[in-house]
Amino acid sequence: MKAPAFDYVRPSDLDGALALRARYGDAAQYLAGGQSLMPSLHFRVASPRLLIDINRIGSLRGIERRGDFVRIGALARHAEVEASEIVRADLPLIAEAVRHVAHPAIRSRGTFGGSLALADPAAELPACAVALGAEIVVAGQGGMRRVAARDFFRGLFETALAPGEIVVEAMIPRQEARQRSAFLELSPRRGDFATVGVACQADLEGDKVSALRLVVFGSEPYPRVARRAQAAAEGARLAPELGAPVAEALEGDLEPMANAQGSAAFKRHLAAVLARRAIERMAA
C-alpha cells in the first residue's frame, strides 16, 4: 500500500517542533529515523496530516560524558551508539545490546530516542534503560522534565510522554568497578524481534550482591525490574550457583504474552534459562 497524503515540515530547533505539534495536536507526528513510522504509514496504521522531521535539531544529537552519566541524545543513531568508545567503556550493557537491534541498515537510521518513545515490548534499549537506572529527559510546551526509566514505560507501546512531548535525551549512569552487567536474547534469526531477552545489572559489595536489576523483554508488555528475582539475589555471593534460585524466583515475576513465537509457558521457561545464564556470565 501507499502512504496517505500528508504535509511535511523540517524545523531547525526544538521550540519550532514543539510549537508545530501543539498547533496540529494528534494530527501531527514526529519523524526521526522513521524505521517504525514509515511502515505504519504505508500499512495505513497511521495517517497523520503533518510529519514534523526533527533531524535538523542539533540539540537532540550527541553522545557524551557528563560527570557520572553518559548522555545519549534522542537522535543518536543505533550505529553511532554501537561505534561509540564512550558507550563501550562506560555502558557495556548497551554496547552489547545495540548489536542485537535489527540489521545494519536499520541501525544506520533508527534512533535511540525513537526506540524509547515507541516502547516496543521486544526492543532491547528500553529494557537496558530500566536495568541501568536511566533517566529520560522529555520536552513539551511547558518545559523539560526528567522521568526515571522505571516509570517511563507503562504498558504495551505506552509511555509517560504527555501529548505533544518529545524525548530529548537519556541520562545513563556510568558503570562502576563494583557493578557487573549481562545481556542475552533469543530470536528466530539474528536481527529478528526477540522472543525473550534479559538485561541485567548487579551492584556488588565485595563479592555479595547488594542490588540486582533484572529486566525481561520480548515476553512482557513493558520492561520492569523483576522484584522476586531481585530479592533472591540480594545479600548472596555472586557465583554461578546463584543463577538457579534467581531463575526460580523470576518465574513468579513474569506475566508473559503468548504470540506466534511461543506460548506463555514457553516464554517463562526461556526467560528463566536466560536469567540463569546472565548470573553465570556476571559471576565469570
**What's this model's pTM, rounded to 2 decimal places?**
0.96
CA distances from 151 to 234, 241, 269 (A): 22, 32, 27
Confidence band, pLDDT 50/70/90 cuts, at residue 43: confident
Alpha carbons 185 and 157: distance in angstroms, whole number: 20
Confidence category of residue 150, pLDDT binned at 50, 70, 90 = very high
Polymer length of the chain: 284
Question: What does the pLDDT average to over 272-276?
Answer: 98
Average pLDDT over residues 156-185: 97
Q: Which positions ≥6 away from 20 have C-beta within 8 Å?
A: 9, 11, 28, 50, 52
Answer whether residue 3 shows pLDDT above 90: no
pLDDT tens for each residue of 110-130:
999 999 999 999 999 999 999
28 pLDDT more than 80: yes
| 41 pLDDT higher than 90 | no
How high is the pLDDT of residue 97? 98
What are the two backbone dihedrals, phi and then psi, of residue 181, each rounded to the nearest 5 degrees?
Answer: -140, 160
Q: Quick one: pLDDT at residue 62?
A: 98
Q: For residue 92, with 0-12 CB atoms within 10 Å meaning exposed, 13-18 middle and 19 or more buried, which class applies?
A: middle
In this prediction, residues 240-256 reach a mean pLDDT of 96
Q: Looking at residue 1, what is its pLDDT? A: 67
Grid coordinates of 165: 512531548
User: Average pLDDT of 99-104?
Assistant: 95
pLDDT surpasses 90 at 46: no
Query: What's the pLDDT at 250?
Result: 97
Band the pLDDT of 39: cuts 50, 70, 90.
Answer: confident
The tens digit of pLDDT for each residue in 188-236 reads: 988 888 999 999 999 999 999 999 999 999 999 999 999 999 999 999 9
Task: Domains for the chain: give ranges and CATH numbers.
Answer: 7-53 (3.30.43.10), 58-173 (3.30.465.10), 179-283 (3.30.390.50)
